[in-house]
Amino acid sequence: MGVSRRKVYVETYGCQMNVSDSELMLGILSKEGYTAVEAPDEADVILINTCAVREHAEQRIIGRLGDLYQFKQRNPRLILGVCGCMAQHIGEQIIARAPYVDLVMGPDVYRQLPEAIERIETDELYVSLSLDKTEHYDGVVPVRQEGVRAWLTIMRGCDKFCTFCIVPYVRGRERSLPMEEVLRQVHRVVDQGYQEVILLGQTVNSYRDGDRDFGDLLQAVAEVAGIRRIRFTSPHPSDFAPSILDVIASNDKICKQIHLPLQSGSTSVLKAMRRSYTAEEFAALIEQIRTRIPQIALGTDIIVGFSGETEQDFLATCQMMEDIRFDTAFMFKYSPRKGTIADRKLADDVPEDEKTRRLQTIIDIQQQITRESNQAMIGHTVEVLVEGESRRDPEKMFGKTDDFRTTILPGGNHRIGDLVQVKIVDSTGHTLLGETSHARSNCGDCPMP
Ligand code: SAH
Ligand code: SF4
Ligand code: F3S
């Protein structure tokens, strides 16, 4: 080992792919003797893993870099690195605006981290931004951060090139982890004591290994002994083969929850976005999913104020949300991204205050639907995977249902990782409140029935 033992702090922004990548970064570094620490003031190396999906995300990170600079002022030997999608997107600008940054690294070159850190000891700056369409990080053992849930990136990159989206430029071409490697990692996750695995990819259902597709992979993962719950995110509506639905419907371990980004309810906007489906095709897919898996919970992503979106287009989105009644939705104002097709060819022509109004309108629609969807759970008994102590009340625990609703339950004797039957008795906007039935003693010593 060429370096003295070092402490590394990784701060993660953006989507679950970044959460998973941060775990891989820590995996690569821990193999070289580094240890992860929980706070920046304990670290010799600070890495921030960044997101470029909207301008707001980038601005937040620029602000955060300013905060982290104080640690460098206190400790001149501290290494400060910017990794991930924003590094890939505007690495040069980061160096210009924050010249105290030591390392700028895109998402495909994290294997270089140990060498890079060593080089920074003698050089001033290490920049590496090449995308590598063969990099899957196979063989890297991630250092996992979360308690009960293991994130597992099964495909990287994206080939869809939706006109608004930066991801294909900062994450490179689509590539899938070989199925044997996925299964090896699922076995490892089980051995480490995780109950739940979430398969990740920007278009996770485009997964392919030879002639085996995402449905085959899901089936194989469900057959791994010891795994209790399987989820995946995010599938693309155009790649949802009916066989995938069959696998979900027929496997208890595969959670009955699908996050399926719609983006817009107007076919002409979808076309301008290059989403490759019409509003009618999306609605038909939802119908097919609900027919095959009636208990499914559905989530979505919506963008308002995209180039050329008229009031009529916007109302079509509102109508579609009312018709489909997604259980949850992430909603965004369109944010032009430098280098994308929309930014080069289409005008960002919906005024900011109109984007704000449209966003607020759909947030109101969705809040009402989410509230009603949660209220409909009252009286049902559901299985909750216990994740931890409730932040508001240490006497209580929290966890997720099979369909990914956050549920608060009495602490009782439950431990993190337990699967508990919970009767839902109330709900707030986003959370279910549950009761557990009194544990029946089977010790034989007491006179309980
Ligand atoms: N791969 C996923 C989405 C990844 S990005 C998919 O195709 O479904 C997550 C979400 O961010 C997108 O679904 C979209 O709703 C939103 N998003 C992406 N680019 C955006 C932009 N330029 N402006 C606003 N929202 C955007
Ligand atoms: Fe972006 Fe579209 Fe790829 Fe999703 S499918 S990551 S929205 S380009
Ligand atoms: Fe952001 Fe990169 Fe994910 S741009 S949304 S962190 S893939």
* Judgement on whether residues 89 and 175 belong to the same structural domain of the protein: no
320 or 4, greater pLDDT: 320
* Same domain, residue pair 25 and 110: yes
201 and 104, same domain (yes or no): no
| 271 falls within a domain | no
Closest CA to 264 of 307, 217, 313, 214: 313
Which residue, judged by its Cα, is nearest atom 4 of ligand 2?
202
Name which residue sits closest to atom 3 of ligand 1, judged by CA: 202
HEC states along the chain?
CCCCCCEEEEEECCCHHHHHHHHHHHHHHHCCCCEECCCHHHCCEEEEEECCCCHHHHHHHHHHHHHHHHHHHHCCCCEEEEEEHHHHHHHHHHHHHCCCCCEEECCCCHHHHHHHHHHHCCCCCEEECCCCCCCCCCCCCCCCCCCCEEEEECEECCCCCCCCCCHHHHHCCCEECCHHHHHHHHHHHHHCCCCEEEEECCCHHHCEECCEEHHHHHHHHHCCCCCCEEEEECCCHHHCCHHHHHHHHHCCCECCEEECCCECCCHHHHHHHCCCCCHHHHHHHHHHHHHHCCCCEEEEEEEECCCCCCHHHHHHHHHHHHHHCCCEEEEEECCCCCCCHHHHHCCCCCCHHHHHHHHHHHHHHHHHHHHHHHHCCCCCEEEEEEEEECCCCCCEEEEEECCCCEEEEECCCCCCCCEEEEEEEEECCCEEEEECCCCCCCCCCCCCC
Same domain, residue pair 364 and 416: no
**274 occurs within a structural domain:** no
Query: What does the pLDDT average to over 128-145?
Result: 92
- Residue 283 belongs to some domain of the structure: no
Mutate to test the pocket of ligand 1, among 56, 169, 301, 344 (most ligand atoms within 8 A of CB): 301
**What confidence category does residue 124 fall into, taking pLDDT thresholds of 50, 70 and 90?**
confident
The answer on 69 and 34 residing in a single domain is yes
The reply to whether 13 and 122 lie within a common domain is yes
- Cβ distance 128 to 82 under 8 Å? no
CB 320, CB 365: distance < 8 Å: no
- Contact yes or no for 244/292 (Cβ under 8 A): no
Identify the pLDDT of residue 4.
61
- Judge whether 110 lies within some domain: yes
Residues 297 and 361 in one domain: yes
Give the ligand whose atoms come closest to the C-alpha of residue 362: 1
Q: Which of 158, 303, 335 to mutate to test the pocket of ligand 2 (most atoms within 8 A of CB)?
A: 158
* Residue 274, ligand 2, Cβ within 6 A: no
Read off the pLDDT of residues 369-419 as tens digits, 9 standing for 90 and up.
999 999 999 999 999 999 999 988 888 999 999 999 999 999 888 899 999
- 167 pLDDT more than 60: yes
User: If you measure from the C-alpha of residue 158 to the centroid of ligand 2, how many angstroms do you get, rounded to a whole number?
Assistant: 6
Residue pair 26/146 in contact by the 8 Å Cβ criterion: no
Strands of 149-153's sheet in order across: 149-153, 196-200, 229-233
CA distance 205 to 321: 23
Q: Give me ligand 1 centre to Cα 182, in Å.
A: 26
Do the domain assignments include residue 86? yes
Query: Which ligand is closest in space to the CA of residue 49?
Result: 3
Average predicted confidence (pLDDT) for the chain: 93
Kindly state whether residues 327 and 425 are assigned to the same domain. no
Cα–ligand 3 centroid distance for 15 (angstroms): 5
Q: Residue 403 maps to which CATH number?
A: 2.40.50.140
pLDDT at res. 448: 42
Our answer on whether the CB atom of 50 is closer than 6 Å to any ligand 2 atom is no
For ligand 2, whether the C-beta of 159 sits within 6 Å is no
Q: Indicate the number of domains in the chain.
A: 4
**167 vs 5, more confident:** 167
Q: For residue 249, give the CATH number of its domain.
A: 3.30.750.210
The alpha carbon of 66 and the centre of ligand 2 are apart by a number of angstroms equal to 30
Which atom of ligand 2 has the smallest separation from the CA of 161? 8
Per-residue pLDDT at 419 = 92
Nearest residue to 26 (alpha-carbon basis) of 11, 14, 42, 15: 11
What pLDDT is stored for residue 173 in this prediction? Answer: 97
In a domain, 263, yes or no: no
158 lines ligand 2 (CB under 6 A): yes
CATH number of the domain that residue 293 is part of: 3.30.750.200
Q: Which domain holds residue 29?
A: 3-128
Q: Is residue 264 part of a domain?
A: no
- CA of 165 relative to ligand 1 center, distance in Å: 6
Measure the CA–CA gap between 330 and 323, rounded to whole angstroms. Answer: 17
Cβ(359) – ligand 2 distance below 6 Å: no
Res 439: pLDDT: 45
pLDDT tens-digit readout, 192-212: 999 999 999 999 999 999 999
Find the largest Cα–Cα distance for the chain: 77
Q: How far apart, in whole angstroms, are the C-alpha atoms of residue 369 and residue 375?
A: 10
Q: Please name the amino acid found at residue 200.
A: L
* Residue percentage of the chain with pLDDT more than 90: 89
Query: Per mean pLDDT, which of 1-5, 164-168, 424-428 is the most reliable?
Result: 164-168
Read off the pLDDT of residues 60-113 as tens digits, 9 standing for 90 and up. 999 999 999 999 999 988 999 999 999 999 999 999 999 999 999 999 999 999
Instruction: Give the pLDDT band of residue 246 (cuts 50, 70, 90).
Output: very high
Phi and psi at 132, nearest 5°, equal -135, 105
Q: What's phi and psi for 223, nearest 5 deg?
A: -85, -5
Nearest-CA residue for atom 1 of ligand 1: 202
Residues 63 and 85 in one domain: yes
Residue-wise pLDDT tens digits, 279-318? 999 999 999 999 999 999 999 999 999 999 999 999 999 9
Residues 328 and 431 in one domain: no
Looking at the fold, whether 238 and 162 belong to one and the same domain comes out as yes
> Which pTM does this prediction carry?
0.94
pLDDT attached to residue 411: 87
Please indicate, yes or no, whether residues 113 and 220 belong to a single structural domain of this protein. no
Q: Ligand 3 pocket: which of 16, 17, 25, 59 to mutate (most atoms <8 Å of CB)?
A: 17
- What integer pLDDT is reported at residue 2 of this predicted model? 46
Kindly report the protein residue whose alpha carbon is nearest to atom 5 of ligand 2.
Answer: 160
Ligand with an atom nearest the CA of residue 55: 1
Nearest atom of ligand 1 to the alpha carbon of 203: 1
* Residue 438's pLDDT band (cuts 50, 70, 90): low
**Residue 361 within a domain:** yes
pLDDT at site 397: 94
Q: Does the pLDDT of residue 137 top 70, yes or no?
A: yes
Ligand 2 geometric centre to CA of 80 (Å):
30
CATH number, domain at 25?
3.40.50.12160
Q: What is the pLDDT of residue 76?
A: 86
Instruction: Give the atom of ligand 3 at the shortest distance from the alpha carbon of 52.
Output: 4
Asked if residues 230 and 197 have their Cβ atoms less than 8 Å apart, the reply is yes
19 pLDDT band (50/70/90 cuts)? very high
* Burial class for 225, CB neighbours closer than 10 Å (0-12, 13-18, 19+): exposed
